[in-house]
Chain A
Amino acid sequence: MRRKRPIVLLWLCVLALVLGACGGDDEEGGGGGGGGAAATPAAEVEQYPASTTMGKIQAKKQITIGVKYDVPPFGFKNPRSNAIEGFDIDFGKAVAAKLGVKPRFVEAISDNRIPFIMDGTVDLVLSTMTINPERAEEIGFTDPYFIAKGRILQKKGGGITGVEDLAGKKVCTVLGSTYEETLKEQAPDAELTLVDTYSECLESIQNGSVEAVSTDDVILTGMIIQDDSLELVKGEELTTEPYGGGFKKGDREFREFLNGVLDEYETSGAWAKAYQKWLGQYTGEKQEPPTETLSDALEAAA
């Protein structure tokens, strides 16, 4: 097989180049670093009974939190520092700080975050997850920590003016998200393209294989931050989406603990600071912390 050699060599070169390019990424270290005070365990933290979820997390000295890696500005991997950042991450750090443990962030896409909770891969999920009754059958929810609204994204001048214009158009959303159902109901004649991540939806609308993306306004805002040739369709929102933290169903103590952390996060002004940092400065809009409870959110969805 003498004549095969040059080809093998060629591929080795390509491989070497690719590996070389990848090698540079590790320098600044992964993890959720850069959080400053929130990430360092405080001197005095309440110790919880060992039988509770909080106690178990304290014994492990770390809390595993499932977050999005590709949904700016809620959870995303900063391409420069490789750190996981965003609104969800800031709240996750506040939870970890309250327990005096280190947060460990793992990627939880829409399709696998509920199994992750059920099989114990993660202690908590903070990944732009809408509270709804079907999910509440499977997992426990905190009170809403953010209220997003369902909107439509198109290329500037795309000619879509409302949900009724989606008929016959290719629309991208994420498999396992609430928009799968919402779009089937409100735009039954739209052609759905279901992918795994919002970054794939962004790629699809950029390369023109779909004409619209529909999901939460904040996620769509994240796409506009990355590509300003896109715009939100004006007009009425498709849905209201209260985001809740998810954990194992039936863990009442953990829920009370998390709701306590949330209350303090909202009243201390940390919520408003995080909002301004991740959303307000891009949209120029203002928003108050949600006052709804979990049952309000579930009733509204029913």
Chain B
Amino acid sequence: MDVLTDNLDDFAAGLWVTTRLVGAAFLVAVVLGTLVAALRVSESRPLRSVGGLYVETFRNVPLLVLLFITFPGLRRGGVDINAWTAGIIALGLYTSAYVAEVLRSGVAAVSQGQREAGLSLGFGQVAVLRRIVLPQAFRTVIGPLGSITIAMIKNSAIVGASIVALDDILKEARVVNSATFQTTEAFFWAAVCYLLLTLTATAAFRGLEARYAIRR
């Protein structure tokens, strides 16, 4: 317990950094994931291929490699990117591929009749997608989106451990460990901090599910 109370500042600072990191990356992931999912279900074959290439790229490149590309890679290429932006972009892009795949399956679950009815009422392709299909798709995939969010919170530890070196929960736990040598306690409290975030996410998605989910 001493390890936590003596280093409360460090753990709190780490928790705040991780919270901001995953919050921003979640926004990036949902916005980009939705756009890519729209490409993936579009009528046009080239657009579908672009979406497919995006998903396969960011799903198959390890997060650690993405971090190397977005931080030292871009900097060496002359882009003056800072650690925060690089971390958010890498984690957001990586997660967006999974969001896109889940949304695509949600779109597939919306019956074709809905789309046809929308089109025959005079909505355009984009409007049908935006106003009729995607809202229902989102409501179908709240559960899987929750899983992706939890995975992203845990993946965020890689951002602090990599060369991007943000002072997140895991980093602060390692700083505490190197000062106190209380390995078990330091990492136990790090796990508790991550649990705080993942359980909050779980509760939030449970709430959304109870309110909006469509059961078929």
Q: Are B75 and A209 in contact (CB under 8 A)?
A: yes
CA distance A134 to B75 in the complex (A): 38
Contact of A4 with B72 in the complex, beta carbons under 8 Å: no
B181 contacts A138, C-beta separation under 8 Å: yes
**Stretch among A191-199, A212-220, A239-247 lining the B interface:** A191-199
- Residue from the list A3, A181, A206 in contact with B52, Cβ < 8 A: A3
Contact B175 A195 (CB under 8 A): no
Task: Identify the closest chain B residue to A110 (Cβ).
Answer: B178
Interface residues on B, range: 20 to 34
For residue B75, give the distance in angstroms from its CB to the closest CB of chain A. Answer: 4
A176–B83 CA distance with the chains assembled, in angstroms:
21
Let me know if A11 and B60 touch, CB within 8 A.
yes
The docked-state distance in angstroms from the alpha carbon of A114 to that of B179 is 12
In B142-190, the 8 Å CB interface with A consists of 161, 163, 165, 167, 171, 174-175, 177-179, 181, 183
* Distance of B64 from chain A, by nearest CB (Å): 12
> Within 8 Å of chain A (Cβ to Cβ): is B204?
no
A261 in the interface (beta carbon within 8 A): no
- In the assembled complex, how far is the CB of residue A5 from the closest CB belonging to chain B, in whole angstroms? 11
B56 near A4 (CB under 8 angstroms)? yes
User: Interface SS of chain B: helix, strand, loop or mixed?
Assistant: helix
- Please tell me if the beta carbons of A11 and B183 are within 8 angstroms of each other in the complex: no
**Which residues from A are CB-within-8-Å of B76?**
206-207
Which residues of chain B are within 8 angstroms of A3 by Cβ–Cβ distance? 45, 48-49, 52
B178 near A115 with CB under 8 A, answer no
User: Is B8 interfacial (CB 8 A cutoff)?
Assistant: no
Given contacts A176-B174, A176-B178, contact A203 B72 (CB under 8 A): yes
* Contact between B163 and A195, CB atoms less than 8 A apart: yes
Which A residues lie within 8 Å of B167 (CB)?
194
- Are A194 and B75 within 8 A (Cβ)? no
Tell me if B53 counts as interface (CB < 8 A to partner A): yes
Q: Decide if A266 is an interface residue (CB 8 Å cutoff).
A: no
Interface string of A26-68 (1 = CB under 8 A from B): 0000000000000000000000000000000000000000000
B171–A194 contact, CB under 8 A?
Answer: yes
B194 surroundings in chain A (CB, below 8 A): none
In the complex, what residues of B have CB within 8 A of residue A209's CB?
A: 71-72, 75, 82-83
Chain A hits for B75, CB < 8 A: 207-209
Decide: A175 and B163 in contact? CB cutoff 8 A: no
- Give bound CA distance, A181 to B175, whole Å: 10
CA of A170 to CA of B76, assembled, Å: 17
Residues of chain A with a CB closer than 8 A to B45's CB: 3
6 further interface pairs, Cβ-Cβ under 8 Å (given A11-B60, A209-B83):
A111-B177, A175-B178, A193-B83, A194-B167, A209-B75, A209-B82
Q: Which 10 A-B pairs have the closest CB atoms?
A: A207-B75, A176-B178, A7-B56, A200-B163, A207-B72, A193-B165, A195-B165, A207-B76, A203-B72, A138-B181
